[in-house]
Amino acid sequence: MNSPTQYEPCEECGAPLDPLQRYCVECAARRGNGANPSSKYFAAMSKRARRPMARPAAKSAPGSRAAAVGFFALLPIAVAIGVVVGRSGSDGGENEALLEALRNQNAAVASTPAAGAATTAAGTKKGKAKQGDKAATKGDGKVVAKTSNGTVHQVTGFKPSAQKTAEDTKLVEGNVEQTGSTYIKAQQNLPDVIVVGGDPDSAPAAPTAGNQP
């Protein structure tokens, strides 16, 4: 035997109500069991309307943040570019020429440069270098030693000719005006003995530190 369906009475008129019934069909009263979807909707809308308006979160300025990130990302690159440009632009090729000259320069070059190099433009061929040595021997006095770098002449008691004095004086005066790679090349071609003539008081001023290459 089936048990009879339980009907709840209407709160207004007492008429029996089906469990799924939302309104009483006798008096049209709304059932207060919370099963009405429209009641739920209105309750939710009422709560939302009474809730104070939430203040929108302040934006964190995406433009300035991106700019800060970009700045710190590009800073090391900018520093690297600055260093490269500074190195390449400040001294040009003169430093390279100086380094090349120092590499090619021997320890004894200051005291015994190839005398032939001063008289010959090329100064590379051995024959010409020997001719230069002979020429230097004739005008430069007594030969003390002959090295692979050139002939060494005795300075003590040396009496230069007028032509030698004039040539060396001109050479020294020209050296003062030279700078950079030209100065380096001229220094490499100097003879081992240089005679400077003229009045010492009328000599040109020595180059200062700023003028040196």
Is the CB of 52 or the CB of 157 nearer to other proteins? Answer: 52
C-alpha closest to that of 175 among 126, 144, 213: 213
Query: What is the binding site for other proteins (CB under 8 A)?
Result: 21-28, 30, 36, 38, 42, 46
Question: How many residues does this entry show for the chain?
Answer: 213
- Measuring CA to CA, how many Å separate 64 from each of 26, 67, 73, 161? 68, 5, 14, 81
Pairing status of strand 16-17 against strand 8-9: antiparallel
In whole angstroms, the minimum distance from the beta carbon of 22 to other proteins comes to 6
Return the C-alpha torsion angle 144, 116, 192, 187, nearest 10. -160
How far is 20 from 30, CA to CA, in rounded Å? 12
Is the CB of 43 or the CB of 78 nearer to other proteins? Answer: 43
Query: Could you say which DSSP state residue 123 is in?
Result: -
Query: Could you say which DSSP state residue 153 is in?
Result: E
Is the CB of 28 or the CB of 78 nearer to other proteins? Answer: 28
In whole angstroms, the minimum distance from the beta carbon of 14 to other proteins comes to 15
How far is 169 from 205, CA to CA, in rounded Å? 14
Reading phi first (left if > 0) and then psi (alpha if -120 to 50, else beta), residue 123 is in left
In whole angstroms, the minimum distance from the beta carbon of 30 to other proteins comes to 5
How far is 170 from 174, CA to CA, in rounded Å? 6
